Amino acid sequence: MRALDFAHIRKSYESPAGGPLVALEDFSLTVDSGRFVTVVGPSGCGKTTLLRMAAGLLEPDAGGAIRLDGEPLAGPSPKMSMVFQGIGLMPWKSIFDNVALGLQLQAHRPSLTGEERERIDATLALVGLTGFERYYPHQLSGGMQQRVGLARALVRQPEILLMDEPFGALDAQTRTVLQDELLTLWSRVKSTVLFITHDLDEAIYLSDSVVIMSRRPGRIKQVLEVSLPRPRFSYDARAEPEFARLRSIAWQSIKEEL
């Protein structure tokens, strides 16, 4: 079953110098339900623009189409949640209340039902934050704050999870730990994931497919299928010859675009 379809997507912006700045051109991609798909490419190739269009926050130019479960995408959908580059936690709200915001915005009401409070507690437990409900963002490490952002997205029980470089600002050790935690969570919640990163190792380690984009205007240059067995955190997947082979192919492809 297809979760997301991008057909002949073009997206342009008005340049301050005059005339259009084309971010994406003739971008077509199918993301099947339950798959973990990562998009990589040189800076400025339209990765974040693509994700914002998938979230219904931007519209493609005329002639392109995005479909969600076979139906035209018309704005943000309750079937999807997005984790942005900047976590965007409210510093005056507790961790519990920051996660609750995902449900409050979805339901368009400030109050929470008993079932929703239980769901928040269960989601915080899922990301390892039980006991931190009454803490505030400044009292948590960067990695723990990122868990809060993930919990805020997951509490809505999305069918599709959109992630825009969520671990980019973290140190290498924390990043590796959260990659494993994300794969553990994904194996439980079964969401379709569309993930953006600059990190080739991260892309290969997490994904079923790695989409490599050209320089701006962004087009699909190559799609790598990752056949490394799952769960990848159960063995040293990064030491496998296949991992090294895929990384070499991906790096050569991107290097040609720099």
Token pair listed for 67: 């479909």
Q: Tell me, what amino acid is at 136?
A: Y
* DSSP class per residue in 96-129: HHHHHHHHHHHHT-S---HHHHHHHHHHHHHTT-
- Domains of the chain, start order: 35-58+71-79+160-258 (3.40.50.300), 86-157 (no CATH)
Alpha helices in 8-131 (DSSP H): 47-54, 95-107, 114-126
DSSP state of 60: P
Tell me the whole-structure pTM to 2 decimals: 0.92
The tens place of each residue's pLDDT in the chain, 258 residues long, gives 678 999 999 999 887 777 788 999 999 999 999 999 999 999 889 999 999 999 999 999 988 899 999 899 988 888 899 888 777 889 999 999 999 987 887 777 888 888 989 999 999 998 889 999 999 999 998 889 988 998 998 888 899 999 999 888 788 888 898 899 899 989 888 899 999 999 999 999 999 999 999 999 999 999 999 999 999 999 999 999 999 999 999 999 999 988
Cβ-count burial 173-184 (b if 16+ within 10 Å, e if not): ebbbebbebbbe
Of 134, 136, 105, whose CA–CA distance to 121 is shortest?
Answer: 134
Distances (CA, A) of 168 to 80, 84, 195, 234: 22, 11, 12, 24
Q: In 130-216, which ranges are E strands?
A: 160-164, 192-196, 209-213
- φ, ψ of residue 14 in degrees (nearest 5): -80, 120
